[in-house]
Amino acid sequence: MSTTFIHGGTVVSSTGAQDLDVLVDGEAIVALLAPGSTALGADLAATADTAIDATGRYVIPGGVDAHTHMEMPFGGTQASDTFETGTRAAAWGGTTTVIDFAIQNPGMRLQDTLATWHEKAAGNCAIDYGFHQIMGGVDAESLRAMGELVSEGVTSFKLFMAYPGVFYSTDGQILRAMQSAAELGAVMMMHAENGIAIDVLVEQALARGDTSPYFHGTSRAWQMEEEATHRAIMLAHLTGAPLYVVHVSAKQALEQIATARGNGQNVFAETCPQYLYLSLEEQLGAPGFDGAKWVCSTPLRPRAEGHQDELWRYIRTGDVTAVATDHCPFCMKDQKDMGVGDFSKIPNGIGSVEHRIDLMFQGVQDGRISLERWVDICSTTPARMFGMYPRKGIISPGADADIVIYDPNGHTSIGVQKTHHMNMDYSAYEGFEIDGHVDTVISRGRIVIDDGAYRGTAGHGAFVRRGLSQNLM
């Protein structure tokens, strides 16, 4: 077992920042030491197998991205990142754990779909990973299987109020699944959009000849997200199930969540960098077919309506629980271009897994969130929310040695020809300049990124059996 000694840096947690040295032995953090307090630090710097001088830099827990879709089948194609390429890109960006989604199609057993996703990921991941389970068919057999999956460390289940004919669940099915989740102590995740009404709006837009990517956004109006979010909250209130609403983009939907939380309900919101930085007018409204690059669901919202500023505010107030990516990348060539002349055929998804830590740190630099909140929403609370804490999400003795050394005085230029490692032929954040830089990334004691080089290997990443949520009120 090798030792690593990180000295001279500032350890940042969700509750504060302190100058501390960090000792790693094997895969775990074993000690935090006050710098210069004893001769031990100098001895460790000289005798450790690896010594890292982190002077002037932040030492933070590795990022936990609780929402990714590697190799996800969608609309006749599949996400362009494999578990190997996607987790390698995540490592480049300071994320050391992802939670992906096993997908049940109607007629398949939950256990069989989970086994399929284990086969996809095993031996291929550069960093650690877990799974949520998408329930594409809520019936007596799948409801019984939920308990079996919880015992195997899959403790969260996702339903869709969108995509009729694909993943859509009726209110009755949602009610039954929430009842089972409440009994098990599992978290119910929800894609909250009124898919039945959206399909009508899409049909009407195409009939008018409104076929460009811009109309993807207008046909998935904020009212459809707010209504579905409220309905999910009411069903969760009735059943007592913890509810985690994924990729919230509309300020009105977040207001529904904030109200429920204020009433003491276990309701949690996730948002994504695209909803904080990008907009309907600027991205989906790009000339020609370029807007397809930013087609995702829920969609980007109009900047003129103030959604982006309100989402930042809800992050500050704590009503946004976590920032994930919903990383579901597709290339423009041979994938996004399937929707030329019909926006409804554009594969939905944006690639962000490599850029989340940087983009959220820019929020610190811009004065939108605190340093501690940055760590909290990107690492600590996702780990707590999904049963990984205190193994993940914290720099503390006994925790996995998932550590990022981040330079606040560094600089990162995002672009396909600059920092891009995702398996995509474009970047959703092309030209973004970040006032900060991921210098070194350590996954379970192993340096995987350092000095501008990838030092990891496929297969280093291990499956994380998750417990129940530790973030409930």
**pLDDT one-digit tens code per residue, 290-313:** 999 999 999 999 999 999 999 999
Nearest 5 degrees, angle CA 94-CA 96-CA 99? Answer: 120
For residue 456, give the amino acid letter.
G
**411-434 pLDDT, tens per residue?**
999 999 888 999 999 999 999 999
| Residue 394, in any domain of the structure | no
Cβ neighbour number for residue 237 with a 10 Å cutoff = 16
**110-121 pLDDT, tens per residue?**
999 999 999 999
For residues 422 and 416, the answer to whether their CB atoms sit within 8 Å is no
Residue 250 has pLDDT above 90, yes or no: yes
Q: CA 153 → CA 281, 311, 424, distances in Å?
A: 42, 31, 31
What is the pLDDT at residue 46?
Answer: 80
| Residue 75, in any domain of the structure | yes
- Residue 473 — very low, low, confident or very high, per pLDDT cuts 50/70/90? confident
What is the pLDDT at residue 39?
Answer: 59
What is the pLDDT at residue 43?
Answer: 77
Residue 42 has pLDDT above 70, yes or no: no
CATH number at residue 135: 3.20.20.140
Residue 44 has pLDDT above 90, yes or no: no
| Residue 332, in any domain of the structure | yes
What is the pLDDT at residue 472?
Answer: 87
What is the pLDDT at residue 38?
Answer: 61
Q: How far apart are CA 197 and CA 124, in angstroms?
A: 40
For residues 72 and 79, the answer to whether their CB atoms sit within 8 Å is yes
Residue 41 has pLDDT above 70, yes or no: no
What is the pLDDT at residue 1?
Answer: 75
The mean pLDDT value for 439-445 works out to 98
Quick one: what percent of the chain has pLDDT higher than 70?
A: 99
**142-168 pLDDT, tens per residue?**
999 999 999 999 999 999 999 998 899
Q: How far apart are CA 468 and CA 461, in angstroms?
A: 21
| Residue 470, in any domain of the structure | no
Against a cut of 0.85, is the pTM above it? yes
**382-405 pLDDT, tens per residue?**
999 999 999 999 999 999 999 999
What is the pLDDT at residue 333?
Answer: 97
DSSP-derived letter for residue 355 is T
Residue 453 Rama label (left phi>0; alpha psi -120 to 50; beta)? beta
| Residue 406, in any domain of the structure | no
**203-230 pLDDT, tens per residue?**
999 999 999 999 999 999 999 999 999 9
| Residue 397, in any domain of the structure | no
Pair of tokens at residue 117? 């996703």
| Number of domains the chain is built from | 1
| Residue 43, in any domain of the structure | no
Residues whose CB falls within 8 Å of the CB of residue 198, separated by 6 or more in sequence, listed in order: 162, 219, 220, 224
What is the pLDDT at residue 106?
Answer: 76
Residues whose CB falls within 8 Å of the CB of residue 410, separated by 6 or more in sequence, listed in order: 436, 437, 439
| Residue 40, in any domain of the structure | no
Mean pLDDT rounded to a whole number for the chain? 96
Structural domain harbouring 371: 64-385
